[in-house]
C-alpha cells in the first residue's frame, strides 16, 4: 500500500473510532424501546463494521480546516452517516435495487423483514434531524438551521427515479451528482458551516466534493464491472443486469477511468485556497480512484 494510503487510512480510522462510539451513544437502546425489532435493525445497519465512512470523514476533515472541535464535527458526521445508512437500507429493498447483502452482511430487510427495514430507515432519517437540531451539536441556532437546510436539500428526492432510463452522458453526470455527489458536497460544506467559513471557502469545498463524489461513483461503477462480491462486500454485475445508466456503460471502461482521474485533478485544484492544511483531502481524492472495494 502506498505511503499516502497508509497515512490516510490512519486518519480515517481515528475518525471511524470516534464515529462508532458516537453513533452507539446516539442510537436508541433496544432494552429501553418498545419497538425493539426496529431499533435493533437501526443499530445493525448503522454499526456494521464494514463501510468506508468517507462522508463522516469529509465532515471531520473539512471542519478541521476551520478549527472546529472534534466533538462537534463527529456529532454532525454521525447525523450524516445515519442519513446515508437510511438511504442504503431503502435502496436494498425488493421494490428498489433488491440486493441481499450490504457491507459484507445480510441486507437489513433480509435480516429483519421488509417492514422493519422500512421503519428502521425512516427512524434513522428522523433521528439525524433530531440530532442536528439539538444544541449539543452546535451552540448557534443559526448554524444548526443552516446545517438542517443544506442537509435536507442533499437528502431530497431530486434525480432518484431516472437511473433505469436511457440517458445521455450529461444526464448521467447530473443524476450521479444528485445521488452521490449531493451527500459528498454537504459533508464537506457541513464542516465549513460549523466553522462559519467565508462563502468563497464553502464554494471551494463544494467544488472539491462535487468532483470527488462523481469520481467515487465512477469508481463504484467500475468495481461493479471488474470486482468480486467478496471484495466489494455486496453483489456485483448489478448495473448491467438491472439496466442502470452509468458512465461506464455510456463511455466504456477506459474512458470512464480517465474521466475519474480528470475529476481528481479538478478536485485538488479546488483545494488551493487551503494550502497544505488540506493535504488529507488531497490524499482522499487519490484514494477514491485507487480503491479496490
In order of 101, 123, 130, the CA distances from 48 in angstroms are 12, 17, 22
Alpha-carbon gap, residue 284 to 287, rounded angstroms: 5
E strands, 56-151, in order: 101-102, 105-106
Considering only residues 257 and 191, tell me which one the structure prediction assigns the higher pLDDT: 191
Residue 169 CB partners (closer than 8 Å, separation 6+) = 247, 250, 251
Ranking 204-218, 220-234, 243-257 by mean pLDDT, the lowest is 220-234
Which CATH number does 3-290 carry? Answer: 1.10.600.10
Question: Is 59 within 8 Å of 22 (Cβ atoms)?
Answer: no
Give the CA count within 13 Å in the CB-facing half-sphere of 43. Answer: 17
| Domain range list for the chain | 3-290
- Smallest Cα–Cα separation from 190: which of 25, 271, 182? 182
pTM: 0.85
| pLDDT of 124 over the 80 cut | yes
Alpha-carbon gap, residue 86 to 157, rounded angstroms: 13
Helix then strand count (H, E) for the chain reads: 15, 2
- Smallest Cα–Cα separation from 74: which of 25, 27, 18? 18
| pLDDT of 191 over the 90 cut | yes
Say what the pLDDT of residue 172 is.
59
In order of 174, 198, 252, the CA distances from 60 in angstroms are 27, 18, 35
Alpha-carbon gap, residue 245 to 67, rounded angstroms: 40
Alpha-carbon gap, residue 127 to 45, rounded angstroms: 14
| pLDDT of 126 over the 50 cut | yes
| pLDDT of 68 over the 80 cut | yes
| pLDDT of 160 over the 50 cut | no
Say what the pLDDT of residue 183 is.
86
Q: Residues 90-113: pLDDT tens digits?
A: 999 999 888 899 988 999 999 999
Amino acid at each position: 500500500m502506498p505511503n499516502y494510503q497508509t497515512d490516510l487510512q490512519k486518519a480515517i480510522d481515528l475518525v471511524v473510532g470516534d464515529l462508532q462510539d458516537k453513533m452507539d451513544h446516539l442510537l436508541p437502546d433496544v432494552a429501553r424501546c418498545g419497538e425493539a425489532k426496529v431499533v435493533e435493525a437501526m443499530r445493525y445497519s448503522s454499526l456494521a463494521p464494514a463501510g468506508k465512512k468517507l462522508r463522516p470523514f469529509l465532515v471531520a476533515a473539512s471542519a478541521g480546516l476551520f478549527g472546529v472541535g472534534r466533538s462537534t464535527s463527529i456529532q454532525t458526521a454521525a447525523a450524516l452517516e445515519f442519513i446515508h445508512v437510511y438511504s442504503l437500507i431503502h435502496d436494498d429493498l425488493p421494490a428498489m435495487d433488491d440486493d441481499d447483502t450490504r457491507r459484507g452482511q445480510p441486507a437489513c430487510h433480509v435480516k429483519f423483514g421488509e417492514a422493519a427495514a422500512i421503519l428502521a430507515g425512516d427512524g434513522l432519517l428522523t433521528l439525524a434531524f433530531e440530532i442536528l437540531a439539538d444544541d449539543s451539536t452546535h451552540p448557534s441556532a443559526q448554524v444548526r438551521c443552516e446545517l438542517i437546510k443544506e442537509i435536507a436539500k442533499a437528502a431530497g428526492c431530486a434525480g432518484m427515479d431516472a437511473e433505469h432510463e436511457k440517458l445521455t452522458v450529461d444526464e448521467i453526470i447530473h443524476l450521479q451528482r444528485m445521488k452521490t455527489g449531493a451527500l459528498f458536497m454537504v459533508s464537506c460544506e457541513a464542516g465549513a458551516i460549523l466553522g462559519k467559513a467565508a462563502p468563497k471557502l464553502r464554494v471551494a469545498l463544494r467544488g472539491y466534493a462535487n468532483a470527488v463524489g462523481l469520481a467515487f461513483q465512477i469508481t463504484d461503477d467500475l468495481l461493479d464491472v471488474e470486482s468480486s462480491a467478496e471484495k466489494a462486500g455486496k453483489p456485483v454485475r448489478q448495473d448491467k443486469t438491472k439496466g442502470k445508466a452509468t458512465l461506464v456503460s455510456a463511455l466504456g471502461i477506459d474512458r470512464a477511468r480517465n474521466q475519474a482521474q480528470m475529476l481528481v485533478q479538478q478536485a485538488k485544484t479546488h483545494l488551493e485556497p487551503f494550502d497544505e492544511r488540506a493535504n488529507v483531502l488531497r490524499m482522499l481524492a487519490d484514494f477514491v480512484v485507487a480503491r479496490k472495494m
